[in-house]
Amino acid sequence: MERYSQKVLKLFLQPVNVGAMEDADVTAVAGSVACGDMIKLYLKFDETGKKIKKATFESFGCAANIATASMMTMLIENKDIEEAEKIGFKEVVDSLGGLPRIKHHCAVLAVQALKVALEKWKIKRGEKPMDENMVKNLLRNILDPHTEKDLISSKIYQRAEISGNKIKIYISAPEDEYLEEIKSNILEAFEGLDYDIEIINEN
């Protein structure tokens, strides 16, 4: 713990904006509990739909994961979407007074969750179409517990069929203790979007 800055330690012990938001406009998840670190981000927008009014998070992981998620919510509150989209992991790390390099992935997770949340918000507002590329973007932040790679890189994800508000997602995953977690994480990735998701395991 002595390798962490005072800012990291403070936000770990007294995190800001922590907890689920019941009236969130959009949520996003990055990481996996099975792989060690995970963040769930909640965003509420103002009446124009273009400015982040409130941001909270839930974190499952180490001190750096909690601190980076907390700092990221502080950086994006009252920011326009365009401003929030420009925030990268380096800005989060610098705002914390630095992080051990081995913990930079925590800041990356926080920023990934933000980018997914903003994309989901654009889908909800009809500014972006739901196509297979978007399905991949949503699943790219979910880690395969077997390999600790994302579902696309690990080739768990096979393809998607989209018809209206119905999406069939085909995966190839072992029939083991992680299968239900993978399915649950996929469903959570689409939380808040008006789509009927069916997951088909072809393995």
φ, ψ of residue 9 in degrees (nearest 5): -65, -40
The one catalytic residue in 35, 62, 81, 179 is: 35
φ, ψ of residue 53 in degrees (nearest 5): -85, -40
106 is catalytic: yes
35 is catalytic: yes
Cβ atoms of 60 and 84 closer than 8 Å: no
Say how far apart CA 187 and CA 203 lie, in whole Å: 19
The one catalytic residue in 8, 41, 106, 142 is: 106
Of 94, 90, 58, 61, the closest CA to residue 73 belongs to: 58
Strand arrangement of the beta sheet that strand 157-163 belongs to: 157-163, 166-171, 196-201
Positions annotated as catalytic residues are 35, 106
